[in-house]
Chain A
Amino acid sequence: MVEFTLWDILRNLLLATRWTIALSLVSFIGGGIVGALLLFVRIGGSRVARLFAKGYVELFQGAPLLMQLFLAFFGLGLFGIDVPAWLAAGVALVLWTAAFLAEIWRGCVESIARGQWEASSSLGMGYIQQMRWVILPQALKVAVPPTVGFSVQVVKGTALTSIIGFVELSKAGSVVTNATFQPFTVYGLVALIYFALCWPLSKSSQMLERKLNVAHRDH
């Protein structure tokens, strides 16, 4: 039997971590773009469009991410596409992230005083102009900490893609366990690597919250 040193295990896990990071980045950026579109529709679209955006958010927040991954994996296949795991994983995570980010950002936009909308409207600004020059610059300050905080959920969410066969950190953990028969060490290390990825994000979210909240302190 081959003997595995701790370094062998760690090296393989770290190599797989690249895919966790890549998928997290794709999901977060893609989700951010789709989420921003949803936000615009949710706030300023027609009644039907607003309802659609609301339904979208409810649907994706109310169903398990795992089910969404399964549906993406098997659903895309119905169109006759041979679906590689990374594609299903990317699509599902982008759509899921978009729902949460749209909802987080909606809260931030709504925290901007009503008078700001009215003032900019009285200056003759259209919806896009109001958003671009008045609302978003203010909402952005409120939005940064929870957005960074949510990125932790995205990184953790990528772990589920191992179930549809995408080889990232969690899947690598299972594979390495099956080769080494050391589940305690391997899953312990996997957990520590996730922690190393997520903890700085959590901490910076907390720090940003403290730093950007200066104006609202002592309320």
Chain B
Amino acid sequence: MKRETKDRAAFNRRTLLIGTAQFGIFGAIAGRLYNLQVAKHGKYALLAEQNSISERLEAPLRGVITDRFGTVLAGNQQHWRALFMQGLAPDPQVVLDNFYRLVPLSDAEKARIATELAHRPGYIPVLLKDYLDWPDMAALEVNTPDLPGVVVEAGASRFYPFGPGLAHAVGYVARPNAREVAADPVLCLPGIRVGRTGVESWQDAALRGVPGFVQTETNVHGQVVRQLARDPGTPGQTVALALDAGLQALAVQRLGALTGAAVMLDATTGEILALASSPSFDPSLFDKGVPSAIWDSWISDIKDPLQDKVIAGLFAPGSTFKPTVALAAMKAGTLTPETILTCPGFFKLGDHVFWCDNHTAHGSITVTTALQVSCDVFFYQVALGVGIDPIARMATRLGLGTDLGVDLPDSEPGLVPTLDWARRHGILWVEGSTVVQGIGQGYTELTPLALATMIARVATGSAVGPHITRRIGGVLQTGGNPGDWPALDVDAGHLAVVRQGLFEVVNTPAGTAYGARLIMPNVQMAGKTGTAQVHNNTAAEKQQGFNDLTMAWAQRPNALFVAYAPYDNPRYAVAVVVEHGDYGGLSAAPIAHDMMVYALTHDPAGRDVPLGATPQATPEATPS
């Protein structure tokens, strides 16, 4: 019994010791719990917050711009880019330093990233670098553990298959600026671009689409545990332009190294089938950012490659303005189709002598012949007879010097002066001013697009307005049908007289554009040449034998040509301006001729599938 008691006491001692040790260990566990749950609560609560669902907006795919046949004019190209979700990095600066070590960036880029990091909400990733090359990609992949929060993903960049050839019509995109981002925070998504010029700008809303989002679960290390949800967003709509890429390419090619513009309209609808401005620029450079050397060269170039000369280039119309003067005078009654005026080669007004072109005497002629041979003296007298304001009113009817409402940004209305305009600008309007107005010189400044519109209206008798967008998301836009346009408020008989004159310009040997006549069966073109002085030769220069071909390039006259065809059933209207191209019939008319031949043989007007091609189920089946 004694031993038992002793053994039992020993057992109890040891058991109590073991129990106490276990109690102590439980106490330690409780202490650790207190430390984790109460003392360090703040730290872990923060970690738990980051360790959660992260939502990231994704830029939608920008809509594709095509020509009327579905040829892609502005598309999307995949590239790799590195994004940074700062909320996922325990220490963003360390991650950035690691990134910069792997992928060196310029100080300017680093500054941009720092600014964006400071101002962006957490659900919007910050772009670290676009257009990662393979060495960059490899370096980033290998060092993933050092780069929590850095995501490498595919992005879309804009590409322009036609490059400079369509730079003005299609425009270009660029990163949104700070003001735009302030107005719409969605714009700060990496990869999102806003249209800056051309259709990219005008149709930006349709092209942009709706952003999607990716919902991922991430842990404290910034690594994605899994993707919870994904909404690809709504890609931008496909914008099909009225352009015919083939015709456009021809126009660009024919303009070549010349400075100028060429535009062709569907004469019945005003749809712009070709819009070429030369010189041009590479629009794809803007997506990545234009190198400053190239930018500077564009800005300093007197030929202004960035300007769309079709819609914003202002030129004195020269003789292409004569049909307007004729129509104004006929409407006012100061000119009839039978009126005969005499051209002795010059016109004397007071002390001043206004010469006919090349001092040629055209004799006694009617308005038709005056148009045919482009007699200046005839129109000096007509202009003086009708007065400046009726001419301006007729010009407005024909689409000159007025806002045409073209669906392109930065278009210029041009100017056709009125007495009121002169008064407002403090200009003393003298009769001489009206005289030169008769031949489209003086204050008158018009865009090639306005001239094309004028000739289309004269040709069809329909008040068509120029526009470039044919379909958005497959829906034909208003104006795409000839019936969408009202009749022109000009007497049909007067129009017929002018058309006859324009016919003779091209189709009679005495016409100024006889060389540009169509050698096609049963199809004739009607048109009007123009040669607009940009420099008044001084007496000294004249004595030195200066003429248009020997003077400096920038002082040579601009060459213009407007035309439409077929003569008896107008479908196409064209306007070509070659800056300092001397004579309209010499440099501008051949370009218009070639474009017209292309248009008449391919007949793109009103079509969504090329002539002779198998019709597709839907015309918009091509967007990528």
Is chain B found bound to chain A in the same assembly?
no
